[in-house]
A and B are shown apart, each in its own frame.
Chain A
Amino acid sequence: MTTPNDLPLQDLVHHDKVHRSVYTDPHIFDLEMERIFGRAWIYVGHESQIPEPGDYHEALLGQQSVLMVRASDGRVHVLFNRCPHKGAKLATLPCGKLGKVIRCPFHGWNFAHDGRLASVPVRKGYEGTAFDESDPDFSIRRVPRTGSYRGFVFASLAEDGPDLETFLGGIRTSLDNFCDRAPDGEVEVAGGVFRVWQNSNWKIFLENLNDTSHPMVTHESAINAARDGHSDAEGGMPFRLHIIAGNGEPYVFWDELEMVAFDRGHSYMGAIFTPPKDPVSLAHIAALEAVHGPEKTREILSVQRHNSVIYPSCSPHSSFQQLRVIRPVAVDRTLVEIYTFRLKGAPPEVFQRAVVYANVVNSPSSNVMPDDIEVYARCQEGLKGDGGDWVSLHRDAGRDRFEDGRYVANGLSELPMRNQYRAWARYMSGEDA
């Protein structure tokens, strides 16, 4: 038997298979937090969640609790959620208001929205000591790098590395299309956030996002239930059933989908539920045409993507305005946050359809998701055993094509998984993927 720690890191990942320990070894998980989540640009939140000065949103950056804060000058800061005095967490809600200053609930040290120490009570007690307001050790520590791409805020715990746009590379087009679908060119978080536990390693979920050979198998129960008696309903299948039943398309359908990957682990797959020419879609088209005219509108809506992967922390779904955020908590436990966005300037029905999509697909009560979560947990359990050391990534291996700065393959290819492990291996060896 091979014990995971006997193998050097570079031997755990081959181009067409990975060692099971990458999913199960807590030591490797700790290294991932340091070398991947400690270096890459990680999604924090969206600027629309903190519209007013003093508003904050809490997020997990790897294992670090951080606060995204709007300052009085409109700038966005990402701060470690820790008072420099005794270490208390400064805020505990997912979203909230800090007021004019960030006030520690323990001894009343006050900080500006950028983290700088503003005041301490009974200042004279510190006279003649090593306490120094201008010493950053007495201010809330700022995350080394913060960046925003069209309102999506990312942060990096590393002092250096590629800038955010370089990091995103070709997957920027998914965020662009996400926003371009709004007649005003901007989106905002609305309608609440789902937070769902997965009892499995974070990479299992990331791999699943572009896994086209699982839906018809994993989701058989939901597909059957949605199809039963409703396939030829008047006016076609209702939207909320259509997005369930679509999982049951035949293999040839999936194999014809676009499958595209970029450096640093990013990828996307073509849309599987193309919005029909129903009244909601027509109203959306009309709103876009009023701003852009028919040609540009066609161009925007011709980009039809299912899940995109922005490795390693989030997955936008641009066609239905969803963003899933991956927060690894332990080697076998992952929190997924699911946000719905409103397209600014679009008719209300477009947002209401995104809410229906969220309820049907991404809610903890979804009829689709429980079978995903179940098979992820079965992998996590199964991989602990000695039934084998390797996980296969062989589907269409060796046939990925590199064209115009991107990797392309047939829709059923496991290209996105191989691509994620290529990035994984580079990060884990200390490079910037």
Chain B
Amino acid sequence: MGAGAQNGQGGLPDIRSIERFLYREARLLDERRWSEWLALFAEDGVYWAPLTHDQPDWIDHASLFHEDALMRQVRARRLEEKRAWSQQPPTHTARIVGNVHFDEEARWPGPGPGQGPEPRIVVRSTFHVMEWRHDTKRLLGGFYTYHLLPEGESFRIALKRVDLIDREGAHEMLEVFL
């Protein structure tokens, strides 16, 4: 049976298969393997970091990140440009992803935020990202929410939502994907 198969409780996939997927995603980001990370997303997948605590959407409200495939690609491309001055030296990250669990509403019937009619599996986790660049180290933390589409042995990301605990605060630049 495949990792994404319905062999867990309540017809949901095994949580271990979800964890494997999330840990791999974390590793791709920490190793700046952007093109492999981009490929984890469904074609119309969305990467979103709200700006406020009760922000209903990304249409009528500014966001810390709101990126479709096109904008994710632009960011990944810029980060590796020879004259990306603010990436001299580049940003280094190490992240811990924990508390991985199915959300209380573990199945999103769709269509939902991030388009697409397919049912999704909704997963929550807590993260810390230690980030270092130039002479500054900082710690970012918050919650990840994923809408995942089972695909063969693995998943595709329909939505990756990043809720920074300090999203309403004043920020230094957020250059790399969280």
Contacts and interface: CB of A to CB of B under 8 A. Distances in A.
Interface of A: 190-197, 218, 220-222, 224-226, 228, 230, 238, 240-241, 244, 335, 340, 348, 351-352, 355, 358-360, 363-365, 367, 369-371, 373-375, 378
A221 B75 CA distance: 10
Contacts, number: 99
Given A192-B61, A365-B173, A371-B84, 7 more contacts: A195-B171, A196-B173, A221-B78, A221-B83, A222-B78, A224-B81, A370-B86
B85 A364 contact: no
24 contacts: A191-B60, A191-B62, A197-B170, A197-B172, A220-B81, A221-B84, A221-B85, A222-B74, A225-B81, A241-B74, A352-B59, A352-B60, A355-B62, A358-B62, A359-B62, A359-B63, A363-B62, A363-B174, A364-B171, A364-B174, A365-B174, A365-B175, A373-B86, A373-B173
Contacts of B174: 363-365
B173 A369 contact: yes
A244 B55 CA distance: 26
Contacts of B81: 220-221, 224-225
B71 A355 contact: no
Contacts of B77: 224-225, 228
Contacts of B10: none
Contact of A194 (B51, B55, B85, B87): B51
Nearest to B61: A191
Contacts of A367: 74-75, 78
Contacts of B49: 365
B64 A218 contact: no
B63 A196 contact: no
Given A191-B62, A373-B86, A241 B173 contact: no
Nearest to B64: A365
A374 B89 CA distance: 11
B66 interface: yes
Interface residues of B, number: 32
A349 to B, nearest CB: 10
B164 to A, nearest CB: 10
B157 to A, nearest CB: 18
B37 to A, nearest CB: 16
B74 A194 contact: no
Nearest to A365: B174
Contact of B173 (A193, A240, A352, A364): A364
B110 to A, nearest CB: 23
Nearest to A357: B62
A429 B87 CA distance: 41
Interface string B103-123: 000000000000000000000
B41 interface: no
A360, A369, A374 — most chain B CB neighbours (10 Å):
A374
Interface string B135-178: 00000000000000000000000000000000001111111000
B52 interface: yes
A355 B75 CA distance: 18
Contact of A226 (B55, B74, B82, B84): B74
A195 B78 CA distance: 23
A228 B170 CA distance: 32
A375 B88 CA distance: 11
B1 interface: no
Q: 6 tightest CB-CB pairs across the interface, nearest first?
A: A221-B81, A221-B84, A374-B86, A195-B170, A225-B78, A225-B77
B62 A348 contact: no
Contacts of A371: 84-86
B74 A364 contact: no
A218 B86 CA distance: 10
Interface string B46-80: 00010110010001111111100011001101100
Contact of B74 (A197, A225, A355): A225
Nearest to B177: A365
Contacts of A378: 85
A228 B78 CA distance: 10
B34 to A, nearest CB: 11
Nearest to B77: A225
A194 B84 contact: no
